Amino acid sequence: MGIRTVSDYVKFYVNLNMQDSISLSSFAYNEKLVLKNKTASGKLTKELILQSLSLLDDLLTEIQNVGEQAVIEKYVR
């Protein structure tokens, strides 16, 4: 999996050009659901999934603390 940091998740979201249709927090919640389903199917190693889930939790906490726009501006420079 190529996403290893919170910054990677934010950049991935921005590069998808989804800002007008889905919020960053909704995107992060959806990614968590996808990863949990992949855990059940065994498509990724447990360590990678746990690391990604931790990153998404960090991202969601940061969004709650400073807001989505501030997070996007912080990581996409």
* pLDDT averages per 10-residue partition of the chain, 77 residues: 87 93 96 86 79 95 97 93
Range of the domain at 33: 6-75
What is the per-residue pLDDT for 25? 96
Q: Phi and psi (nearest 5°) for 22?
A: -145, 140
Q: With beta carbons less than 8 A apart as the criterion, state whether 32 and 21 touch.
A: no
This prediction's pTM: 0.84
Within a domain: 1: no
Number of domains present in the structure of the chain:
1
- CA 50, CA 35: separation in Å to the nearest integer? 9
